[in-house]
Amino acid sequence: MGMIHALWLGLSVVSAAWGAPAAHGQVASAAVVVEDCAVRFAEEIRIPAVEAGRVVEVKVQLNDTVSAGHLIARQDDSATLLRRRAAVWQQTAAREETSDEVDLDYAKALYAEAVAQRDADKGIYQKGGGSLRTVRQSELGVERARLEIARAEKTLRLAQIQFELRSAELSAIDDQLERLRIKSPIAGVILSIERRAGEWIKEGETIATVARMDQLRIDAFLSAEQLPPAEAVGAPVSVVWRNAGESHQLIGAIDSVDPQILTGQRYRLHATIDNKRLGNAWLLVPGTEVEMRVHLERKVR
C-alpha cells in the first residue's frame, strides 16, 4: 500500500488549503462523497482438508488472531508415519548398496590377474613354448574380467539411482506429513471452525475460515456523472464513521471498477483500505456503516 500513502501525503498537502482560493495553475482538491458503500473483508479464505480422514487436533479457537503459516489443525497422519518408517529403512538399505564396492574390487583383482596371466602366456609363446590356443584363452580371460568390471560399475550406478528414488519417496512422504498439518495461508482472524478433533472430513471440505483484517475492501456505487469510471481507478479515498461518539477515519485507494454501467448511470467500484489496531481490536470491522470520500485533483484555470 505504499502508493496509497504516497497519494495520501500529496492529498494532505493540498487539503490544508481547502476553503482557500487557489491561484491560477495550482491544483485544487475536491471530494466526491459516497454513502452507498459496504465494508467487507479484503480476503476471506476457507481452509480445506488436504485428504479424507480424521481431524486429530484443532489448534485455534473462534476469533483467534493468527499469522501466516500458523498451525490451524492436524489431520490423522498415523498411516503416513508408518509409510515413512518403512521408507527410511529402504533408503538406508539403498545407501548401503551405493557404498558396497566389494564386487567391483573383486572384478578389478580378477582383471589384474587375467592381464598378468595373458602377459605370461604371451611371453612363453614368443619364446617358442606353449600354444596359440593358450594365448587366445588368456586374452578371452582378460576380456571376461573387463566385462565383470563393467557389470560391477553398472550395479553401483543402478544402486545410486535406487537410492535417489528411495530418497524422493521419502521426501514425498515428508511433504505429505507437512500437508496434513493444516496452516493458515494469510494473517488474519478465525471466523469459523467447521470441524472438531475426532470428526471425519472429506478432501476439500472446510476445516476453518480465516479473514484478513489489516486491509478491508469497500464496495460502493457511484454515479458516472459524479466521477467518470475511467478516472476512478487509483484515486485516493478516505472512509469516515462515528463510533461511541467518536469520529474515525482510514485511508486507501480505488483498485478497480466493474466494466458495466447499471441503472441510473451508476457503476460499482472497489477500494482497499488500510485498517489499524485499536488496543486488542481493529478500528474498522466489516459491516460498519461508513461514508467514503473519493478525493480528486483539478487544475484551476
The model carries a pTM of 0.71
Mean pLDDT, the chain, rounded, equals: 87
Residue 297 in grid coordinates: 485533483
Alpha-carbon dihedral sign for residues 278, 279, 282, 284: negative
Task: Write out pLDDT tens, residues 145-198.
Answer: 899 999 999 999 999 999 999 999 999 999 999 999 999 999 999 999 999 999
Which of the four pLDDT bands, split at 50, 70 and 90, describes residue 208? very high
Q: What is the mean pLDDT of residues 96-122?
A: 87
Does residue 28 carry a pLDDT above 60?
A: no
Question: Residues 26, 16: contact at Cβ < 8 Å?
Answer: no
Average pLDDT over residues 116-130: 81
Once rounded to an integer, what is the mean pLDDT over residues 68-72? 96
**Cβ-proximal residues to 299 (8 Å cutoff; 6+ apart), any chain:** 25, 26, 27, 28
Q: Residue range 199-209: average pLDDT?
A: 96
Confidence of residue 29 (pLDDT cuts 50, 70, 90): low
How far does the chain reach from its first CA to its final CA, in angstroms? Answer: 32
The residue-averaged pLDDT of 70-82 equals 96
Rounded Cα distance, 155 and 138, in Å: 26
Tell me how far CA of residue 228 lies from CA of 11, 37, 150, 246, in angstroms. 20, 17, 78, 33
Q: Cell 471466523 maps to which residue? A: 191
pLDDT exceeds cutoff 50 at 14:
no
Percentage of the residues of the chain whose pLDDT score is greater than 90? 63
Residue 10 has pLDDT above 90, yes or no: no
CB burial string 1-27: b at 16+ within 10 A, e below:
eeebeebbeebeebeeeeeeeeeeeee
Distance between CA atoms of 69 and 46, rounded to whole angstroms?
15
Which pLDDT value is given to residue 35?
85
**What is the C-alpha to C-alpha distance for residues 278 and 126, in angstroms, rounded to an integer?**
103
Cell numbers 487509483 correspond to 234
Which pLDDT does position 123 carry in this prediction?
83
Q: How many residues does the chain have?
A: 301
Residue 9 has pLDDT above 70, yes or no: no
* Residue 296, number of CB atoms within 10 A of its CB: 17
Burial of 247 (0-12, 13-18, 19+ CB in 10 A): exposed
Q: Domain 78-179 belongs to what architecture?
A: Up-down Bundle (1.20)
**CATH 2.40.50.100 correct for 51-75+182-210:** yes
pLDDT of residue 20: 41
The predicted pLDDT at position 138 comes to 87
pLDDT tens by residue, 268-291: 999 999 999 888 889 999 999 999
Span 2-42+212-299: which CATH code? Answer: 2.40.30.170
Using an 8 Å Cβ cutoff, are 139 and 122 in contact? no
Read off the pLDDT of each residue in 230-238 and give the average, rounded to a whole number: 92
Dihedral pair phi/psi, residue 4, rounded to 5°: -60, -45
Work out the pLDDT band at 244, boundaries 50, 70, 90: confident
Nearest 5°: the CA angle 24, 25, 27 is 110
* Range with top average pLDDT, 29-38, 100-109, 246-255: 246-255
Over its C-alpha atoms, the chain yields an Rg (Å, rounded) of 38
Q: Is 299 exposed, middle or buried (0-12, 13-18, 19+ CB in 10 A)?
A: exposed
Identify the CA nearest to 11 among candidates 24, 26, 29. Answer: 29
* Domain layout of the chain by residue ranges: 2-42+212-299, 51-75+182-210, 78-179
